[in-house]
Chain A
């Protein structure tokens, strides 16, 4: 009797655990089935090589490149801000900062990651863009630069927190050996700790990139809705995520080609982040126990 009850409970728990598998299957099925009807009308070659994305206009083009370039441009700017800042914070907190300071600052920095992204969108549009326009007068009201910067600030805690964990877990012996040789804290950090913690730091950077690629509200609010193939951070662009939002806000008939474009855009986004996430998972598993 008791045994039977135990078995039933175990099955229920297992059933709950399968929900996450069903979610993955669901995502793949939805993306593939909707975009396969899209790709029966638009060739994959056009999708990947056409340099214009105008599915909502009379003259339709379905080249994903402008959306990808917009996505990568904002992501690049974000990483340019977050990587040096985040890594310096991690090194400073790990090697230089007094314990008390570290204990106060770490949770405070994590507040940055807890703020809803729509709030960051407001900052990008209403605070950062007007501020930058004072220095760069020909910057457009919607642009890639200020959402990129704001996104960078948002992902600082991802890099600083995960990198600090990685630095912290470098065995004490390595650190002490370095100090024993007369190295300064800076030399120890960059010549011993950072190389030893490379895998952890890399994982943090990849996660930050993946987060920036998938970020929606900041760019939807502040980057504009004009897909264009450009590296100019001062003009309006459109990211993959913004396009999905733009279509969702309008009245697009379900089952129409316009409706299917958001799933095609979604699959491009999914593939990008999927590759990055798996690289980071692989690195994490492979190098996890190197020093243990």
Chain B
């Protein structure tokens, strides 16, 4: 018997290949980009590039100052944003479930998460740089980025805490523990995997961010290594932006090499986060 041509089955299969094509399109573009970067920039990556100060000559310039700046920013931002974000998350999830104030904060946070990063720059320019007089310092930059990633940390803290089953809490209460003792000794350790994942992703976001820092004026030609939170600074993405805006070919090459370093940092942090998430999901079966 001859099989009849089925138009619906044909369409169904056609869409299957279209779907595969779309999926591969995203991945293909990603690989083209990464290969392009490696070809253009790998040759420039040497010891001198890591240990040199900025320079007007592209072949003498290096990323020492902006790399250190990014590391400073990473730690200061974590120091400010993690305690604040985790505490807020605990409050919203454990204490303020039913009250009006908490639901107001919740709407507020979901709004903040959608505010473009450059707007945080405008806020920081006025409040941190001008009114508090922090200038274009590392501290001002970290405060700016902390506010930016706060919603991410709060949301992931809440998700992590939410995943801890009620029975653990109830067991703790039954033994006479107070609310805070239960949170501190039971809930937080149980939620630590998810918490850590969220925190790492948030900080990786802060390290790649540049727009708000440009607004507060961090695009400086600085030649001194930052040694305290009040020092002026540059970070990797801003150095890349700076090099990209110059006409000489040497600086473009520098930008690609710096992009490799920045991507390496980003991918390492994301990889670590995914690894922790998987391990946490596997290890704990409620």
Contacts and interface: CB of A to CB of B under 8 A. Distances in A.
Contacts, number: 252
Contacts of A127: 32-33, 36
Contacts of A126: 244, 252
Counting chain A CB atoms within 10 Å of each CB, which of B19, B20, B211, B267 scores highest?
B19
Interface extent on B, as a size class?
35 or more
B219 interface: yes
Interface in A16-70: 16-21, 23-24, 26-27, 30-31, 34
A116 B116 contact: no
Interface in A166-220: 184-187, 189, 207, 210, 213-217, 220
Contact of B23 (A19, A92, A241): A92
Contacts of B199: none
Given A248-B121, A248-B217, A123 B33 contact: yes
18 contacts: A10-B91, A12-B87, A14-B91, A23-B150, A27-B120, A85-B26, A111-B30, A115-B208, A117-B208, A118-B262, A119-B262, A123-B33, A127-B36, A185-B15, A217-B241, A241-B118, A262-B122, A270-B115
Interface in B151-178: 151, 154, 178
A21 B108 contact: yes
B111 A245 contact: no
A246 B117 CA distance: 16
A122 B259 contact: yes
A142 to B, nearest CB: 11
A112 B30 contact: yes
Interface in B31-59: 32-33, 36-37
Interface in B43-100: 83-84, 87-88, 90-92, 95-96
Nearest to A156: B26
B270 to A, nearest CB: 5
Nearest to A34: B126
B114 A119 contact: no
A65 B116 CA distance: 19
Contacts of B209: 116
Contact of A216 (B16, B95, B96, B116): B116
Interface in B219-257: 219, 237-238, 240-241, 244-245, 252, 255-256
B112 A17 contact: no
Contact of B259 (A10, A119, A153, A254): A119
Looking at chain A's contact residues, is the secondary structure mostly helix, strand, loop, or mixed? helix
B22 A88 contact: yes
A21 B266 contact: no
Counting chain B CB atoms within 10 Å of each CB, which of A93, A115, A156, A274 scores highest?
A115
A118 B214 contact: no
A154 B122 CA distance: 24
A79 interface: no
A85 B19 CA distance: 8
A121 interface: yes
A121 B241 contact: yes
A20 B112 contact: yes
A222 B44 CA distance: 23
Contact of A6 (B96, B123, B180): B180
A122 B214 contact: no
A84 to B, nearest CB: 8
Contact of A153 (B26, B83, B112, B211): B26
